[in-house]
Chain A
Amino acid sequence: MNNRDIMIEKNRLFEDVYYGHVPKRVPILSSGDNSFCLEYAGFDLRKEQFSIEKNLEAIDITTKDFETDSIFATMVRIPQMYKMLGARNFVMGSDGLMQHLEIASLHEDDYEDFIQDCYKTICDKALPRMYTEFGKDGFQGKAAFAKGFFTFYSAMAQLGEGYIKIAEKHGKAIYNMANVAVCTPFDMLADQLRSFTGISKDLRRRPEAVEAACEALLPCAIKAGTKPNSSRVQRTFIPLHMAPYMRTKDFERFYWPTFKKYVEALDELGIGTNVFVEHDWSRYYDYLYELPENTLLIIEEGDFKEIKKKLGGKHILSGFYPLNVLKTGTEEECLNMAKELIEILAPGGKYIFALNKNLLTMRDINPENLKSVICYVKKEAVYS
């Protein structure tokens, strides 16, 4: 079988799961970051990260060595773009990793404007506070937008072509974790507009404004989460952030309504969602159950037996495999962990093997353990 045929066969594994059929075997989805690949390939993160070619070369090398069904990693944060824009939200740390800093780009007294026209308010008020170059007078601010826009789309086009070539070269599926990534309206508001501290105060002091702001953001989230090629298999990635830090009654009032509407709207448009359930969501399993059938839930923390029982009949489950086992465990311990997960989660077919966290750096794991686990899953998690 040539690599093109292998690619089609691997595509089929994911397509079967996303359409609710039992696949030939459990698909193995990678959720690596380009930073992991650069280190794995022996490149200097502080230098080679600025080259799209070097990032693709590193992803190619890593994809060749790990037998996942998707390419090993994708690149989301383009460091040169953030530098050009004078970003305050994403800066490169001394180790070369892109760090997300806590910032509040929307002020409390901006809520009225935001509710009236959130897109305009983001452009006029939030972006210049988030990116210092946008705030510059005259042509400088406009030039910065043009530079950033071109850098972003040219990098994304180059990466997109590169991913397909790597998938074809190594016989991998064309699908990865995110066709596009867009947060829930509440997280969008909390993450970089109002900040963790700001939104926590707003829940008490401006509850009606928070509710209205989430409703205002909802159509934008739906629009941003929809690409021309979006479908049941080219899925929208939704990382969940704030809910575990909220009181249940606040979650019910502020977080859940627009989260549910967002996922339902995408589902009605024929778009599948990959929801990354960060931290402990055990208080909210009944809510997750309400999401449209075959939502992919990538779980970071939680009792996989309980989750399989509560959510596994309706949704596709993934995640769970703890990075720390791959870092400190023996090969035998790592394989036992995989065996335990497969035994519980694979029956019925609504399962995609993945780790519980995004792989950022070589320090996160012992790569040889991961290679052994992937080979084990590929060999053992077979349906027919």
Chain B
Amino acid sequence: MKSEYYLNSEKNLRKYEIPEIPQDYEWASLQEMEELVFSYVFFLIS
């Protein structure tokens, strides 16, 4: 899924200038919010 408004893990790390984050924490601390926003938007149009 590609969109200017959706950032995958790699793009998120770059955007927030976090060079190294343990992979174990990355999902919960960063990427999960991206995914929750995406799911919420699709709930709102359903």
Complex contacts, B2 vs chain A, CB 8 Å: 117, 219
Chain A contributes a number of interface residues (CB within 8 A of B) equal to 29
Residues of B within 8 A of A222 (CB): 1
Per-position contact with A for B3-40: 1 when CB-CB < 8 Å, else 0? 11110000000000000000000000000000011111
Known contacts A117-B3, A120-B3, A220 near B42 by CB under 8 Å: yes
In the assembled complex, the Cα of A120 lies from the Cα of B2 at a distance in Å of: 10
Which of B1, B6, B39, B44 makes the CB contact (< 8 A) with A127?
B44
Contact residues in B for A105 (Cβ distance below 8 Å): 45
Q: In the complex the two chains form, is B45's CB within 8 Å of A126's CB?
A: yes
Given A149-B37, A153-B36, does the pair A120, B42 have CB atoms closer than 8 Å?
no
B42:A130 contact, CB within 8 angstroms: no
* Chain B residues, Cβ within 8 Å of A382: none
Q: Are A191 and B46 in contact (CB under 8 A)?
A: yes
Q: Does A163 contact B (CB under 8 A)?
A: no
Q: A117-B3, A119-B1, A120-B3 are in contact. Are A152 and B38 (CB under 8 A)?
A: no
Say whether A219 contacts B1, CB under 8 Å. Answer: yes
Chain B residues whose C-beta falls within 8 Å of the C-beta of A72 in the assembled complex: none
Contact B46 A118, beta carbon cutoff 8 Å: no
Which of B36, B37, B46 has the most A CB atoms < 10 Å from its CB?
B46
> How far is the CB of A104 from the nearest CB of chain B, in Å?
12
Within the assembled complex, what's the spacing in Å between the Cα atoms of A322 and B41? 34
Residue in A closest to B45 when the chains form the complex, CB atoms: A192
Q: How far is the CB of A112 from chain B (nearest CB, A)?
A: 15
**B46 & A183 in contact (Cβ 8 Å cutoff):** yes
Query: Residues of B contacting A8 with CB < 8 Å?
Result: none
Pairwise interchain contact A122-B45, C-beta atoms closer than 8 A: yes
A119 with B38: CB separation less than 8 A: yes
> Does chain B have a CB within 8 A of A182?
yes
Point out the residues of chain A lying under 8 angstroms from B40, CB to CB. 148-149, 152-153
B44 touches A131 (CB 8 A): yes
Residues of A contacting B46 in the complex (Cβ-Cβ under 8 angstroms): 181-183, 188, 191-192
* Cβ B42 vs Cβ A152 within 8 A: no
Complex Cα spacing A152 to B41, Å: 11
Q: B residues within 8 A CB of A148? A: 40, 44
Indicate if the CB atoms of B38 and A224 lie closer than 8 Å.
yes
Contacts of B41 in A (CB 8 A): 119, 122-123, 127
Q: Is the CB of B1 within 8 A of A130?
A: no
In chain B, what residue has the closest Cβ to A124?
B5
Candidate in A182, A219, A220, A224 with the most chain B CB atoms within 10 angstroms? A224
Give the residues in chain B near A153, CB-CB below 8 Å: 36, 40
Contact of A28 with B by CB under 8 A: no
A130:B5 contact, CB within 8 angstroms: no
Convert A179-191 into 0s and 1s, putting 1 for each residue whose CB lies closer than 8 angstroms to a CB of B: 0111100001001
Contact: B6 with A224, CB < 8 Å? no
- Ordered by A's residue number, 18 sampled pairs between the chains whose C-beta atoms are within 8 Å are A105-B45, A117-B2, A118-B3, A119-B1, A119-B5, A119-B6, A119-B41, A123-B5, A130-B44, A149-B36, A152-B40, A153-B36, A180-B39, A181-B46, A183-B46, A191-B45, A222-B1, A224-B38
Q: List 20 additional contacts besides A131-B44, A153-B36, A182-B46; criterion CB under 8 Å.
A: A105-B45, A117-B3, A119-B6, A119-B38, A120-B4, A122-B41, A126-B45, A127-B41, A127-B44, A149-B36, A149-B37, A149-B40, A181-B46, A182-B42, A183-B46, A191-B46, A193-B45, A219-B2, A222-B1, A223-B38
Q: Which 4 A-B pairs have the closest CB atoms?
A: A119-B3, A224-B42, A219-B1, A120-B5
